Amino acid sequence: MLPEIPRPDQGDVVELILADHRLFEEILRERRNDQNDRDALRALLSEVLVAHGEAEEARVYPQLERKDAIDEDEAEHGEEEHRDIYQALLPLLEATELYDDDFSHLVHELSETLLHHLDEEERDILNPARSDVGDADRARLGEAWLAERARLLDEGCGSVEQVRALLDGH
């Protein structure tokens, strides 16, 4: 069974981003079950990764910088890690054989890159956001992030063409 992408319209930005992080992990777990539709899981993961990351870069990182919760280097590092994730995602999206060792290796590479990013983002960006940004501002950031994420999801983000374009534009 495929996980669903939650579509809330409000909440604390830290908790919302953490919920997506757990969703990424759930999708990767479901991918390990050979009974699941790997193509559908691949598309789902790509869609939510792109919407999540692009919404963070557009709506969250700049605001956290303005509030001095993170500095420019931390924001740039987060963006670089999103690019690394897209670089690991692209060959997975381009793969035509989804049930061989090569595909499993590509999933492993993406998993390693993604889990590294989640760890660093949770420690270096979300922790300061918790301590240095008030509840009302985190709620406003949550609404802005969700709106951008929803817009991207509604547009059908995460295609192989879009991931290529994102890599060319970064």
> pLDDT per residue over 44-102, tens digit each?
999 999 999 999 999 999 999 999 999 999 999 999 999 999 999 999 999 999 989 99
pTM of the predicted protein model = 0.95
CB neighbours of residue 19 within 10 Å: 12
- Does the residue 4 lie in any domain? no
Residue 97: which domain range? 13-169
- Does the residue 111 lie in any domain? yes
| pLDDT for residue 1 is more than 80 | no
Q: What is the tens place of the pLDDT at every residue in 124-140?
A: 999 999 999 999 999 99
- Does the residue 7 lie in any domain? no
- Does the residue 148 lie in any domain? yes
- Does the residue 8 lie in any domain? no
Kindly report the backbone phi and psi dihedral angles of residue 9, in degrees, each rounded to the nearest multiple of 5, phi listed first. Answer: -120, 0
- Vertex 6: Cα angle to 5 and 11 (nearest 5): 145
Predicted local distance difference test score (pLDDT) of residue 32 = 84
Question: Side chain identity at 143, as an amino acid letter?
Answer: E
Cα–Cα distance list, 138 to 14, 26, 54, 151 (Å): 7, 25, 18, 20
- Does the residue 2 lie in any domain? no
Q: Could you tell me the pLDDT band of residue 2, with boundaries at 50, 70 and 90? A: confident
- Does the residue 59 lie in any domain? yes
Report the number of distinct structural domains present in the chain. Answer: 1
- Does the residue 98 lie in any domain? yes
Q: Could you tell me the pLDDT band of residue 170, with boundaries at 50, 70 and 90? A: low
